[in-house]
Structure formats: structure tokens, C-alpha cells
Amino acid sequence: MKKLSFMLTLIAVLLLAACGGGSSDSSSGSGGQTEDGKQIVTFWHSMGGAGQDALNSIVEDFNASQDKIEVVAEYQGTYDESLTKFNAVAGTDSAPTMIQTFEIGTMSMINSGNIKPIQDLIDEDGYDMSGLEENIVNYYSLDGKFYSMPFNSSTPVMYYNKDAFAAAGLDHENPPATFEEIEEVSKKIGEANDGMKGFALQAYGWLWEQLLANQGALLLNNDNGRTGTPTEIGWTEEEGKSILNWVKRMVDDGTFANYGTNGDNMIAGFLAGDVAMFLQSSASARDVIDSADFEVGIAFLPHPGDKERQGVVIGGASLWMIDGKPEEETKAAWEFMKYLQTPEVQGKWHVGTGYFAINPEAYETDIVKEAWEEMPQLKVTVEQLQSTKSSYATQGALMDMLPEGRKIMETALETIYNGGDVDEAYETAVKQFNEAIETANRARGE
């Protein structure tokens, strides 16, 4: 008995120790030099899969192209995870030299006080940003000032299975453009392809924002937070419900495939021929085209039939310079940032992933021209961006509570997917969204 109770105590202690352990980070602090005297730049990023391969190869090229700077790229998990880690080490020596953060983190990065606006470096260096894609400049400059360097940008597009379209006798070069057309096509595809689901919408707050912007609706008031701090949501009931009702009708028709919040499962379902159309970031384009054993089509983001298409908001991420690092280190990171903007690198990046090139000159490079001939689908994402009408709606919203807002909308969408009531889900979501805005404003304590 003594032995047993000793064992139990031991286990209890071990359990406690295990619970308290948590994850230990082995990531190196930044700064310093390599043995052969190169300046080290630590670069935290969130690119997994094909994006990570492409990024690593770019970093290798950069390190090989000169002998003064050594960039160390470290994958830190998703943007959310990476930002959490960064907030924990901000202001200490363990903070990286530069970090990649998603577009909705823009406002909280600026408010954090841990970053050095890259406008300072642009002015010092006399660097010209006007060569960049106009819509990107619109999103990332606030009152004419750049806080971060745009890097990977994508737009949402609709992927569709051309073979399934052909089997249903539909013109696969002319994909549906409106909500109503998608409903029609979905029914026909289901009939012709042995119950294949027509359409899938991942419960993803980013897609909600894009579907709003595409009908010219604002996400937040005060012009999406561009002319003042937002105090409540910016879309109207009609605009918001148009999306939920559309999904609801497809759920009722039995043409909607529910993959919840899991984008990987959705793509797997598409590749296996379970669903014929889905919305997703163009960043997955290369992956999807390469893995599908059928013809993949890529089309513009759909919009309600009674509204004109307005275009999309820039999605993706930008690179932030961390404040308080030695000058040589910051300078070295700046060199790397500039390298990333060159047409050759952006061309390689676009072709390797499906993110569009933020430097339009990249489209003139041979590597892009060749890839476009082989995969004309990659062009769609660029065309969609360039035909976007510039307005507050398509400039995108700025506020620090946007990640929370996304989760709220995801819950609303999932409620509809599982047969919930549109009015109820909508009211709940709007109420929570407004409360989140209010709390965020109060928490700033101004």
C-alpha cells in the first residue's frame, strides 16, 4: 500500500509538472553576427506548405546573392500564433528583426508601439514605393505613410471543377458570377454528377469580409475606420443578410457542402470530386491546380445579382520592422525587404504560390509569362485585383478587434450551415460584433 500511494503521489507531481510545462520556445533571439561576420536578420513568417518552400528558396537566393547579410527565416505557425508569440517577446532581445503579420493585424501592430514605421527607412533611403500595385498602396498607406512593407497579397477567388461543369452540359469557360447563378448551376451539377455537391463556403471571416466588399458594403462605420475610429458595423441589414440567405437557400436545396471552418478538408473534398465549386484565397491556386486530376477553373468572387461587382480587398500579409534593434540589423533587414520587392523575386513568388505580385513589373518577367501560358488560371487573380473599383469598401477595414469579428461571423455562418434561422443568427452576430467594437474602443482607455 505504501508503494502504491508513493506511486500515486509521484504521478500527481509529474502531472502537475507536465501541466505547468507548456511549450518552450527554442527560437533564437535575433541580432549578432555569424562566425564569418555576416549580419544576422531573424525573420518570423507564417508560410506553410508550398508558400514555405517558395519563401525558403527566395531566402536562400538572397543569402547567396551577397556576403554581408544572413537572413534566418523561422516558421512561427499561423498569423494568430505568431502574433501571440511576438506579443510575449516584444521589447526583449528575443524579438525578431522583422515579422510577417496578416492585414487585419495592421492596427494592433501600429498601436503596440513595438514597430518602426518603414516610412522612416523609405525617406532615409529615398526608396520609391510608387512602382507597387495601386490597390496595395491604398491598403497599406495610412494618411500617406507606410507602416509596413507589403509582401504576400492574395484575393479570394472561386475555384471550380471544369469536368463537372462539362458533364452537366454547362459552359465551363463561362462560370457563374452571381449568387443566383451559382444556385442554378449547383442544382444542375448535382443532377448530372451523381449527387456531387455544388458549392462550399468555408466558415471563414475573411470570406465574409470579401463578400461584403464585393457588393460595396463597408465592414465598419466611419468609412471602414479610415476616417475615424469605428463605433459599429458598417454594413446594412440587407447587405449582410444577402449572404446568409444565399447560403441558407443552398443548404435547403441540398447543394451545399459543409466543411465547417476547415479549409484543408474543403480542398480535399474538391480534389476528390465531392464538391464542384468553392471560394478560397488565390494563394492556394498553385497547390490546387497541381494536385487535381481534372481541369481546375478559377473565377472571380461572386456577388448578389442585383448589385454590381465592386471587387475585392487585399488579403495577405505585410512585413514589419521591429523597433529598438541595432541600426546595422535594421539596415540589413531593409535590404532584404527591398530585395523581396524586385520583379524577379515577385515573379517567382507569384508562380510558386498564387499570391499576386505586388510589383506589377513582375508580370513582364519570363518566368511569369511561361507559367501563365501553362496555367492561365493564375492570371484571374491579377485581373480581379486590377478591375477592383477603389473605394472605402474595397480598401478594407482597419481595427484591432477584427480577428474577434471574424470568429463571430464564422459562428453565424456555421449556424446557417446546420439549419439555423437566418434572422436569429444575424441578430446575434451583429450584437456581438458591435459589443466587440465597443469593448475594443474602451480597452484602449483613451
Partner 1 sequence: MSMTSPIIETNESYLKKVEKVHKQNRIKSLLKGLLFLLPSIILFGVFVFYPLFRTIYLSFFLTDAKGATTVFVGWEHYVNMFTDPIFLKSIKNTFLFVIYTVPVTVIISLFLAVIANEKLKGIGFFRTIFSSTMGVSVAAASVFWLYLFNPTMGLLNEFLQMFELDPIGWLTDPKWALISVAVTTIWMNVGFTFLILLGGLQSIDSSLYESADIEGSSYFYKLRRITIPLLSPTLFFVITVSIINSFQTFGQIDILTQGGPANETNLIVYSIYREAFVNYQFGSASAQAVVLFIIILIMTAIQFKVGERRVHYQ
* Site residues (vs partner 1, CB under 8 A): 1, 3-5, 7-8, 11-12, 15, 19-20, 80, 84, 87, 90, 108, 111-112, 203, 258-262, 265, 268-269, 272, 274, 400-401, 403-404, 407, 410-411, 414-415, 417-418, 420, 428, 432, 436, 439, 442-445
Cα separation, 220 vs 212, whole angstroms? 11
Is the Cβ of residue 22 or residue 169 nearer to partner 1 in the bound state? Answer: 22
Nearest Cα neighbor of 297 from 286, 306, 305, 289 is 289
How far apart are CB 289 and partner 1 at their closest, in Å?
19
Is the Cβ of residue 94 or residue 261 nearer to partner 1 in the bound state? Answer: 261
Is the Cβ of residue 351 or residue 409 nearer to partner 1 in the bound state? Answer: 409
Separation of first and last alpha carbons in the chain: 63
Is the Cβ of residue 361 or residue 404 nearer to partner 1 in the bound state? Answer: 404
Spatial contact of 441 and 260, defined as CB atoms under 8 Å apart? no
Cα separation, 413 vs 243, whole angstroms? 9
How far, in Å, are 137, 199, 230, 400, 441 from residue 227 at the CA level? 17, 37, 9, 15, 15
Q: How remote is the C-alpha of 241 from its chain's centroid?
A: 24
Is the Cβ of residue 383 or residue 427 nearer to partner 1 in the bound state? Answer: 427
Spatial contact of 99 and 81, defined as CB atoms under 8 Å apart? no
How far apart are CB 439 and partner 1 at their closest, in Å?
7
Is the Cβ of residue 201 or residue 393 nearer to partner 1 in the bound state? Answer: 201
Cα separation, 203 vs 411, whole angstroms? 8
How far apart are CB 242 and partner 1 at their closest, in Å?
20
Beta-carbon contacts of residue 335 (< 8 Å; ≥ 6 apart): 69
How far apart are CB 199 and partner 1 at their closest, in Å?
15
Is the Cβ of residue 361 or residue 435 nearer to partner 1 in the bound state? Answer: 435
How far apart are CB 431 and partner 1 at their closest, in Å?
10
How far apart are CB 312 and partner 1 at their closest, in Å?
24
In this structure, what C-alpha cell is assigned to residue 36? 564569418
How far apart are CB 259 and partner 1 at their closest, in Å?
6
Burial class (CB in 10 A: 0-12, 13-18, 19+), 230: buried
Sign of CA dihedral 249, 253, 254, 257: negative
How far apart are CB 109 and partner 1 at their closest, in Å?
9
How far apart are CB 260 and partner 1 at their closest, in Å?
4
DSSP 8-state symbol, 220: B
Angle, in degrees to the nearest 10, between helices 49-65 and 327-340: 120
Cα separation, 325 vs 31, whole angstroms? 8
Is the Cβ of residue 337 or residue 440 nearer to partner 1 in the bound state? Answer: 440
Is the Cβ of residue 68 or residue 444 nearer to partner 1 in the bound state? Answer: 444
